[in-house]
Amino acid sequence: RDPDAAEKAVTSALAHDPRRAEMLAALADLQRRAPGRPLIDTLLRLAEVTPGALDLHREAVETALDPVADHALAKSTAERLFEVAMEVAGAGEPPPEALWALDVLVRLALEEGNRARVMELCLKGAGLPFSAKERKRLRIQAAEVADTEPAITLYKSLFDEEPTDARVAGELEALYKKTSRTSDLIAMRKRQVEVAESAASRVASPWLWSWASWPPLAIASISVACAVNPSAASSACSKL
């Protein structure tokens, strides 16, 4: 059987009944031999007559990304996939395709250099009922592209929720130092010491002693150490 002739025959049949799902599916199968814009069009047409067929929308996005490599087309199809996925989810947890589409949109916005759009998308996703792990990832991604003040706000909220997260703490510390927020740094360090697993680990904490070379905070560091373990005083002084 000649695939090209078959594709022409199916296309001709669809001219008389353009919403016939089985014919659209057959056409998509034939067009997958050489995926391109015609396949994307067919997939989206098939998706219209196949409610909730997220796999069809995703394939359209993937084809637009590669091999078609059309940024605008990939963006519009990813936006549509996200919308449909959220409609399917209703009030429940969104399907994996929703997060996948959101990540594609974030990537495309990064390629455009549109940091505001990246932040908007990430915060939108962080407000949806994805898993806690994914919501946190999206908030961190938003903080990474944010200006200083919004970044501090985001990292501070993440730190408040999980003060043992070294990555978040490191980013917040860097921003506090950059903006000379000594009192905020002291409060942050105290919190880190408070949540350490034991008194010994509190006093030995690299978070605490990383301040020793910074005169404005050296005394505060010792004070925090002594508050949790008075016997640490002499050791604290020796570290300065």
Q: What pLDDT score was predicted for residue 193?
A: 86
Residue 25 has pLDDT above 50, yes or no: yes
Q: What pLDDT score was predicted for residue 215?
A: 55
Instruction: Give pLDDT tens digits for 78-93.
Output: 999 999 999 999 888 9
Residue 228 has pLDDT above 60, yes or no: no
Average pLDDT, the chain: 88
**What average pLDDT does range 120-148 have in this prediction?**
98
At the second CATH level, the architecture of 1-101 is: Alpha Horseshoe (1.25)
Q: What pLDDT score was predicted for residue 203?
A: 53
Q: What pLDDT score was predicted for residue 233?
A: 47
Residue 158, classed as helix, strand or coil, is helix
**What average pLDDT does range 111-122 have in this prediction?**
98
Residue 51, classed as helix, strand or coil, is coil
Instruction: Give pLDDT tens digits for 178-223.
Output: 999 999 999 999 999 888 765 555 555 555 545 544 555 555 555 6
Three-state SS for 88-137 is HHCCCCCCHHHHHHHHHHHHHHHHHCCHHHHHHHHHHHHCCCCCHHHHHH
